[in-house]
Structure 1
Amino acid sequence: MAAHTTYQSILDDAVERLRAGPVPANPLAESIAARGRLTLAGQRGIGGGCIADAARLETDTGPLFLKTHPDRDDGMFPAEARGLEALSERIRTPQVVASGSVDGTAYLLLEWLDLGPVDDVALGEAMAELHAEPQASFGWPEDNFIGAMPQLGGEDDDWARFYAEKRLAPQLDWAAERGLSARTIDAGHELIETLSAFFSDYRPHPALIHGDMWGANHGALTDGTPVLFDPATYRADREAEIAMTELFGGLGPGFYQAYGAQLPLDPGYRTRKGLYNLYHVLNHFNLFGGGYGRQADGMIHRLLAELH
């Protein structure tokens, strides 16, 4: 599908950058290390995704992972740091060392972890343990980010209302500004108005989720321990997390079997996963444009058809 193609192009681009030679070192690394009272012995640029640049810093306390983004002083990295810290109470994440801004460039400094491919079964078990921990309400106490787009905060005891007002509605508004067709926008608002129908016989409980679970945001330590990073953390229906793992693929049957053995999914998940993945497809339209608009239109109309 179109979404998968975009992510594959990101990965292909990263491979080409590595083949082309070393990435330039970060010129602000010395200043960032000094702020953390670290002695910088060396650094190596290691590229990055579509949002941030990354480097490995050699310091007197050991290697560290540095993410930087110029002209991004809007709280993205501090919010990411708080999300990592929240997740770390239940699942392994890189330890946060520092975050801040130097000369207009935002940075996030993390523990360096040597990561390899994750075992699907181990990740499924770890994810079930994360989602099983009771949470007080849906939402998050602050705005954070999904990719480079804002993800609105706020807390609510009503999941359908939260998902409509804080997830789908903002993405539709931004999509309208970016030229998504009036037909799709109108249908999207119709879907929002009838959203409660998808929860008529299902009452989700708040669970802490990673929020951006695609294939490049997890790995494993050498002992097999699953590690999550680059989160868009909030408290949600856990189905929203599992749905995204299916949107872009990359996890095998062992993940879903291990997860389901501990936390079985409700039969209505097969319908609601389209509702949850609509959020990410709209977000990708707002980030990248292109065929995501058509994909969102098809998803919205299929969901509306479920109600008739």
Structure 2
Amino acid sequence: MEALLKRELGTCLLKRAGHSGGGCISEGQSYDTDTGRVFVKINHKNEARRMFDGEMASLEAILSTNTVKVPGPMKVVDLERSGALLIMEHVDMKILNKYSSKLGEQLASLHLHNRRQMEKQKKEMQTVGNVLKYGNFTCLVGLYICVFCVCEGKGLEQSEVVNKFGFHVATCCGYIPQVNDWQDDWVSFYAQQRLQHHLGLVEQSYGDREARELWAKLQLNLPQLFTGIELVPALLHGDLWNGNVAECSDGPIVFDPASFYGHSEYELAIAGMFGVFGSSFYNAYHEKIPKTDGFAKRQQVYQLFHYLNHWNHFGDGYRGSSLRIMKDLTK
């Protein structure tokens, strides 16, 4: 593997830096190279390439918003036998402590980024419309070129507006791929591509009759939980729990994302399940994105996905929590 890394990085020096880590999905190791230190995630499963391609696309998307820090992604490399590597910037990190409030503020900025791009595009189109109405053709051509440069030239990724829910590649929350097919309607997207997908996996593995019956009732109740709520696609980290956040010398950092464009409230569900984000985080977040009516119920709906995801990853120890939420939501 080290010979492969040397070749892919174009480096003569490749020395383990002593910084290693790992979770239940992948291992990690830092290396010193000719051009600096890198961090390499390693996974030997056949599905590793798809998982790391999704993670790299997620890191690139978050990085392009210039809102919250992530390790800079470099490349995904296939291992010679089975599995893949994800090579990224090495960042010295420690447990999130003094930057909790700043993380809440920056996370809200991430969630608002696409909305702000929409508003910016709308203003630009209104300006074009005004030129059409009051100006002459020469002014219109000049303005069109200016708007085109903003949207299509420098900062293309930062200026892109997303009007649907989904993502351009599959991403994995854990090792199970998420269905990210683009849809106009958030409730349909979430019901079909998050809850139904995982309940289908539960059915395949366990044939759980009670889960099947509860889902038949719950899917009829879902739309009313979103009545009167403005649903604007927001770029999400997708797996924001305490194991995927930290801080470095200049502020908070998030990593191991499973991104897609969804409802901003979705992001807070797994954070709330483990109770590790303090009041300063939530106060800063909700200062920018206030809670709306029905927030608590929708948090249950979003936590249901994560309990089902855990059920499919780690077994029926998560069955009880999954069914409890479904029962609460169908009362």
TM-score scaled by length of structure 1: 0.86
Q: Out of 55-64 and 137-146, give the one that drifted further.
A: 137-146
| Alpha carbons 1:116, 1:222 under 8 Å: kept | no
Unmatched tracts of structure 2, length 5 or more? 116-161
Instruction: Quote the Cα distance in structure 2 between the aligned partners of 1:71 and 1:274.
Output: 32
Q: How far off its partner does 1:34 sit?
A: 1.4
Whichever structure has more strand as a proportion of its residues is 1
Instruction: Quote the Cα distance in structure 2 between the aligned partners of 1:87 and 1:219.
Output: 16
Question: Which of residues 5, 21, 24 in structure 2 aligns to 1:50?
Answer: 24
Question: Which of residues 84, 99, 104 in structure 2 aligns to 1:124?
Answer: 104
Superposed, 1:74-223 pairs within 5 Å as: 74-90=49-65, 91-103=68-80, 104-118=82-96, 119-133=99-113, 134=115, 135-179=162-206, 181-223=208-250
Matched residue, 2:269: 243
Q: How far off its partner does 1:36 sit?
A: 2.1
| Alpha carbons 1:214, 1:248 under 8 Å: kept | yes
Instruction: Quote the Cα distance in structure 1 between the aligned partners of 2:181 and 2:85.
Output: 25
Matched residue, 2:40: 66
Letter in structure 2 aligned against 1:288: F
Unmatched tracts of structure 1, length 5 or more? 1-27
Relative distance call for 1:141 and 1:41 in structure 2 (3 A) is closer
TM-score scaled by length of structure 2: 0.81
Instruction: Quote the Cα distance in structure 2 between the aligned partners of 1:195 and 1:258.
Output: 29
Instruction: Quote the Cα distance in structure 2 between the aligned partners of 1:139 and 1:280.
Output: 17
Is 1:36–2:9 an aligned residue pair? yes
SS in 2 for 1:140: coil
Instruction: Quote the Cα distance in structure 2 between the aligned partners of 1:71 and 1:145.
Output: 13
| Alpha carbons 1:66, 1:109 under 8 Å: kept | yes
* Cα deviation digits, residues 62-113 of structure 1 (max 9, x gap): 1110111113344111111010000112321111111120212310001000
Instruction: Quote the Cα distance in structure 2 between the aligned partners of 1:221 and 1:80.
Output: 21
Aligned length: 277
Question: Which of residues 237, 246, 253 in structure 1 aligns to 2:279?
Answer: 253
Q: How far off its partner does 1:45 sit?
A: 6.5
Instruction: Quote the Cα distance in structure 1 between the aligned partners of 2:245 and 2:46.
Output: 24
Q: How far off its partner does 1:152 sit?
A: 0.5
Letter in structure 2 aligned against 1:145: C
Letter in structure 1 aligned against 2:51: M
SS in 2 for 1:113: coil
Q: How far off its partner does 1:205 sit?
A: 1.3
Instruction: Quote the Cα distance in structure 2 between the aligned partners of 1:180 and 1:114.
Output: 45
Instruction: Quote the Cα distance in structure 1 between the aligned partners of 2:170 and 2:61.
Output: 15
Instruction: Quote the Cα distance in structure 1 between the aligned partners of 2:46 and 2:252.
Output: 30
Q: Out of 187-196 and 213-222, give the one that drifted further.
A: 187-196
SS in 1 for 2:25: coil
SS in 1 for 2:182: strand
- Over the matched positions of the two proteins, sequence identity in percent amounts to 31
Matched residue, 1:19: none
Question: Which of residues 249, 255, 258 in structure 2 aligns to 1:232?
Answer: 258
Letter in structure 2 aligned against 1:60: D
* Root mean square deviation of aligned Cα: 1.4
SS in 2 for 1:76: helix
Matched residue, 1:15: none
* Cα deviation digits, residues 227-247 of structure 1 (max 9, x gap): 111001001100000122101
Instruction: Quote the Cα distance in structure 2 between the aligned partners of 1:180 and 1:249.
Output: 31
SS in 1 for 2:234: strand
Q: How far off its partner does 1:290 sit?
A: 3.0
Letter in structure 2 aligned against 1:64: V
**Greater CA radius of gyration, 1 or 2?**
2
Letter in structure 1 aligned against 2:234: A
* Cα deviation digits, residues 186-232 of structure 1 (max 9, x gap): 21232123321111222321110100000010112212x22111001
Q: How far off its partner does 1:56 sit?
A: 0.9
